[in-house]
């Protein structure tokens, strides 16, 4: 069996001798057709973050990443009755394994869902990150006219913008913040009203110039009701962490900050605005099972175009090069193909 093998930060190999897994009771075996490289995979690739949660070991000791993929059911474990061999599915694993010819997946609606006929393998491999965006938008409960800021517009942040538009939410300004021009251009193409490149200057001032400011907190506050932090904390990031900027931006009444981006270790931020402004800060991890189905239905109907977010494709044999591409400024989403 072909498989990726995560070895150390910056080092990922390709194997052809991995043992094909066997489904246990309540599991199915999926023959993988496409698998995305996730932002969390990149955190691991940079400094080993979340390694214990992102790889699945083979009997040879290879550590196989990959948790967002599409494929066909190749084998049914004992007790599985509601799937058939050859059925097209999206799989989401909790412990990697998807960057291989075969991977086992529990038979439950949070990790296995059927792919509609009109959705391609590559599109389907982006189902999980879109469902993540749908959950974040649900949690934030964005109201008509509210200004929104999205920090980090990789596949997750772009999915938040697509989710806002797909659900017909008439937000005010939708501002994308990132350091990569290609991703900011994509954000505008799919529905952001403005973009801010954090390399160009103070993010607070740039957003305040778009949304206006209000007094009542020392140093002024921007008129932003909702911030989605899809960037988290990356150790080489310059300037304050996005969460600190979010606390400065958020307005003085009823602001919500949704945190999704991963954290590469501890960070220091000024929490003063948390007390003065009393915003709600909430984490978001994953999705409701029905949001996997909703994500696929939005693709089927053409309400969202996920193919436009796939910037690169590479065969599994080129997994090392694919990770390097995903870590580059020009990449949005890299899909491994089988």
Q: What is the pLDDT of residues 242-300, one digit of tens each?
A: 999 999 999 988 899 999 998 887 889 999 899 889 999 999 999 999 999 999 999 99
**pLDDT bracket for residue 91 (50, 70, 90):** very high
User: From the CB of residue 262, how many other CB atoms can be counted at a distance below 10 Å?
Assistant: 18
pTM above 0.85, yes or no: yes
Which of the 8 DSSP states describes residue 113? E
Bridge partners (DSSP) listed for residue 334: 312
Instruction: Count other Cβ atoms within 10 Å, centred on residue 266.
Output: 6
Q: Is 107 helix (H, G, I), strand (E, B) or coil?
A: coil
**Could you give the CA distance from residue 141 to residue 157 in angstroms, rounded to a whole number?**
16
What pLDDT does residue 265 have? 79
Query: With 90 as the cut, is the pLDDT of residue 19 above it?
Result: yes
Confidence of residue 80 (pLDDT cuts 50, 70, 90): very high
Average pLDDT for the chain: 95
- Residue 122 confidence (pLDDT) above 80: yes
Is the confidence at residue 119, as pLDDT, over 70?
yes
Q: pLDDT tens for residues 166-211? A: 999 999 999 999 999 999 999 999 999 999 999 999 999 999 999 9
- Residue 214 is predicted with a pLDDT of 87
- Of all residues in the chain, what percent carry a pLDDT higher than 70? 99
Question: Is 331's pLDDT higher than 70?
Answer: yes
Predicted confidence at residue 219, as pLDDT, reads 64
Longest dimension (CA), the chain: 64
What is the C-alpha separation between 246 and 226, in angstroms, rounded? Answer: 9
Which H/E stretch holds residue 88? strand 88-92
Q: What structural domains and CATH numbers belong to the chain?
A: 3-126+306-337 (3.90.180.10), 129-283 (3.40.50.720)
* 85/140 Cα distance (integer angstroms): 39
The secondary element (H helix, E strand) that includes residue 8 is strand 3-8
Tell me the C-alpha distance between 213 and 220, whole Å. 6
Q: What is the pLDDT of residues 60-79, one digit of tens each?
A: 999 999 999 999 999 999 99
Average pLDDT over residues 212-220: 78
């Amino acid at each position: 069996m072909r498989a990726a093998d995560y070895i150390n930060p910056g080092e990922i190999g390709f194997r052809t001798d991995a043992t094909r897994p066997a489904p246990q009771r309540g599991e199915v075996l999926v023959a993988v057709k496409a698998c995305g490289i996730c932002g969390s995979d990149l955190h691991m690739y940079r400094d080993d973050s979340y390694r214990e949660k992102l790889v699945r070991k083979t009997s040879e000791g290879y550590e196989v990443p990959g948790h967002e993929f599409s494929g066909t059911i190749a084998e049914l474990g004992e007790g599985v009755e509601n799937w058939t061999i050859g059925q097209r599915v999206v799989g989401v694993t909790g412990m990697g394994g998807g960057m291989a010819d075969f991977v086992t997946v529990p038979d439950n609606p949070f990790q296995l869902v059927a792919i509609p006929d009109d959705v391609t393998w590559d599109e389907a491999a982006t189902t999980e990150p879109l469902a993540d965006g749908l959950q974040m938008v649900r949690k934030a409960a964005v109201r008509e006219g509210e200004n929104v800021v999205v920090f980090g517009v990789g596949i997750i942040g772009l999915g938040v913008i697509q989710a806002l538009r797909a659900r017909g939410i008439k937000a005010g300004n939708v501002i994308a913040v990132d350091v990569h021009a290609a991703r900011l251009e994509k954000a505008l193409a799919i529905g952001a009203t403005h973009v801010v490149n954090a390399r160009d200057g103070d993010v607070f001032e740039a957003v305040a110039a778009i949304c206006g400011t209000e007094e009542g907190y020392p140093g002024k506050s921007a008129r932003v009701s909702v911030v989605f932090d899809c960037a988290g904390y990356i150790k080489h990031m310059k300037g304050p962490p996005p969460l600190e900027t979010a606390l400065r931006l958020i307005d003085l009444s009823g602001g919500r900050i949704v945190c999704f981006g991963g954290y590469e270790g501890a960070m220091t931020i000024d929490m003063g605005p948390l007390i003065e402004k009393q915003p709600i800060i909430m984490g978001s991890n994953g999705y409701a099972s029905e949001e996997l189905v909703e994500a696929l239905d939005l693709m089927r109907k053409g309400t969202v175009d996920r193919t436009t977010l796939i910037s690169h494709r590479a065969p599994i044999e080129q997994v090392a090069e694919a990770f390097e591409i995903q870590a580059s400024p020009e990449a949005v989403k890299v899909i491994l193909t089988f």
